[in-house]
Amino acid sequence: MKRFHLGILASSLLLAGASASAQVAEESTNIVNSETDWSVFVEEDPTQCWVVSTPSETVNTRDGQVVQVNRDDIMMFVTFWPSQDRLGEVSFTGGYPFADGSTVQVEIGSSTFELFSEGAMAWAASPQDDDRIITAMKRGASATLTARSSRGTQTQDTFSLLGFTAAVEDAVVRCGG
C-alpha cells in the first residue's frame, strides 16, 4: 500500500449546499500523522482535517474484460470542517469523471452504501449516511468502491481499512467531531 509522503498531491473538498460541489486541489505538505494505510492532513485558515488513503487494488473493466485505462489520483477521504460544522464527510475521487447521474457503490463487509457523484467526486448523501459509512469502516477490513466512468468503464477500487479508526480519531482530536 502506498503511503502518503510530504509533497504529494492531496485534495481538500468543498461541498456547498446539498447538491452543488467543487473540488479544491492543492499540494499539501501538512501531513501530521500516518496510521498504517491512512494518513491525516491538517490545513489552517480555516482549519480543516482529512484522513485519506489510496486503493490497495484497482480493477478496470469494459464489456466484462479487464482493460488498462489512464486515471488520475484515486483517493478516499473523511473530511472535518469545524468552522462549517461539517464533521466526518465521506468522499471519493475515482480519478476520472463519473457517468452522469451515476452513483458509487461502497461495500464494507456485508454492508452496502451509495455515494452520489458529480464530475470526478462522489459523496454520501447526508450526515447520517456519513456516520453509517464511518461506523462500517471502523469495523471492516476493506472498502470496495464500484463506479462507472463517463466513458463506460467499470472501476472497482479496494481500500484497506487498516489504521482507519486511529486516523479518524486523530482527526477528531485535531478538528473536533
The span from the CA of 11 to the CA of 9, in Å, is 7
Q: Distance between CA 24 and CA 71 in Å, rounded?
A: 18
Are residues 103 and 112 in contact, defined by beta-carbon separation less than 8 angstroms?
Answer: no
The pLDDT of residue 135 is above 60: yes
Phi, psi of 146 (to 5 degrees): -115, 130
Measure CA 39 to chain center. Answer: 12
Q: What is the pTM of this model?
A: 0.82
- Summarised one tens digit per residue, pLDDT across range 6-47 is 222 233 333 322 222 223 223 455 778 777 899 999 888 778
Q: What is the pLDDT of residues 59-68, one digit of tens each?
A: 999 999 999 9
Q: What does the pLDDT look like over 114-123, one tens digit per residue?
A: 999 999 999 9
Residue spans per domain, the chain: 9-175
CATH T-level assignment (fold) for domain 9-175: Immunoglobulin-like (2.60.40)
